[in-house]
Amino acid sequence: MIARDAAPAALDARLDEAAERGHRLEVILVLRGSVRPARGGRWRIRLENGRAVTFDGECVVAATPTPRSPRR
């Protein structure tokens, strides 16, 4: 399922179904923000909304520079 082609409710239903049935999924996320090393060999990305997400570098498929958003 391509998320940009689906309504958010349809994507939520797919994720709920997979969770309920114990299915394994390959989930591809696009995160934009500033990246820094985190503890334990992980990485932290600070998103534009101020939240931070940590992840294992082994999960990264691609990393592409993006223009900075204008300061508010």
Q: What is the DSSP string of 3-71?
A: GGGS-HHHHHHHHHHHHHHT----------EEEEE-GGGEEEEEETTS-EEEEEGGG-S-----PPPPP
pLDDT of residue 34: 94
pLDDT, greater one: 6 or 33: 33
The domain limits of the chain are 1-30, 34-72
pLDDT at 8: 82
pLDDT in tens, 14-40: 999 999 999 999 988 889 999 999 999
Q: In what order do the strands lie in the sheet with 42-47?
A: 33-37, 42-47, 52-56
Both tokens assigned to 13: 């239903």
pTM across the whole model: 0.69
C-alpha triplet 33, 36, 42: angle, nearest 5°:
110
Q: How confident is the model over 49-71, as pLDDT tens digits?
A: 999 999 999 999 999 998 876 66
